[in-house]
Amino acid sequence: MRLIRSLKHSSGARTSKGLLDAKKIMLGIGLKKGDVVLDAGCGNGFFAIEAGAIIKNSGTVYAIDSSMEAHEFLRRDIAQKNITYVRPICADISTGIPVDSAIIDAALLVNVLRGLADNNEEKRALKEIYRALKPGGLLGIVDAQSKLPVEDVIKVVTPYCFKLKKQFEAGPWHYCLVFNKI
Ligand SMILES: C[S@@+](CC[C@H](N)C(=O)[O-])C[C@H]1O[C@@H](n2cnc3c(N)ncnc32)[C@H](O)[C@@H]1O
């Protein structure tokens, strides 16, 4: 897998805001009302917050990032906006995702997998995501073809008992791959 050094966007921001239409992508992945969602490597929480429009009041988003700076940003942001469906957690997804097993309907890795691969963390993170997902649960991976080719993602992800369900264009430079836990 191609190695990319930075875990941030080229702008230095920990967010895909302005680059991607989060709601459209999450609907494409298959998120629905009442879902329990894992936003793994959530950054500033752009996708986690936008998920509220889909999961409505009955769902939850576990928004996990290893950066304390990103975690604190999200904690302050949701407090200001009175958002209760997002649960921010500061943790390294490759050493353990602090949620019970088989509780997640849909997991997101948005512009995160290439950084994990760079640090050889992708295998442990995929195992943890697999554990957290319900049987048949969805894993949506969004990344840029120029930075992490689709073929590489499929090669890395499918050995961890994920089956490719569909793929679609997520933006001018980005694709989205949707896998099922099998
Ligand atoms: C490019 S940003 C993307 C943020 C967000 N997903 C988005 O698209 O708006 C990548 C994020 O992944 C986080 N990250 C990288 N490795 C991680 C790990 N092992 N555990 C948790 N978060 C991680 C980084 O701290 C960073 O906030």
* Tens of pLDDT, residue by residue, the chain (182 residues): 433 333 455 445 688 888 899 999 999 999 999 999 999 999 999 999 999 999 998 999 999 999 999 999 999 999 999 999 999 999 999 999 999 999 999 999 999 999 999 999 999 999 999 999 999 999 999 999 999 999 999 999 999 999 999 999 999 999 999 999 99
Compute the distance between CA of residue 130 and CA of residue 137 in angstroms, rounded to an integer: 9
Q: Is 174 in the pocket of ligand 1 (CB under 6 A)?
A: no
What is the residue whose two structure tokens read 């929480």?
Answer: 45
Q: Is 38 in the pocket of ligand 1 (CB under 6 A)?
A: no
Compute the distance between CA of residue 142 and CA of residue 175 in angstroms, rounded to an integer: 6
Alpha carbon nearest to ligand 1 atom 23, residue: 41
Q: Domain boundaries in the chain?
A: 22-181
pLDDT of 7: 44
Q: Is 70 in the pocket of ligand 1 (CB under 6 A)?
A: yes
pLDDT of 1: 40
Can you tell me which atom of ligand 1 is nearest the CA of 142?
A: 8
Compute the distance between CA of residue 68 and CA of residue 61 in angstroms, rounded to an integer: 18
Q: What architecture (CATH level 2) is domain 22-181?
A: 3-Layer(aba) Sandwich (3.40)
pLDDT of 2: 39
pLDDT of 16: 86
Distance of CA 66 to CAs 18, 36, 41, 95, 156, Å? 23, 20, 7, 10, 22
> Cα(140) to centroid of ligand 1, in Å?
14
> Cα(12) to centroid of ligand 1, in Å?
12
Q: Is 48 in the pocket of ligand 1 (CB under 6 A)?
A: no
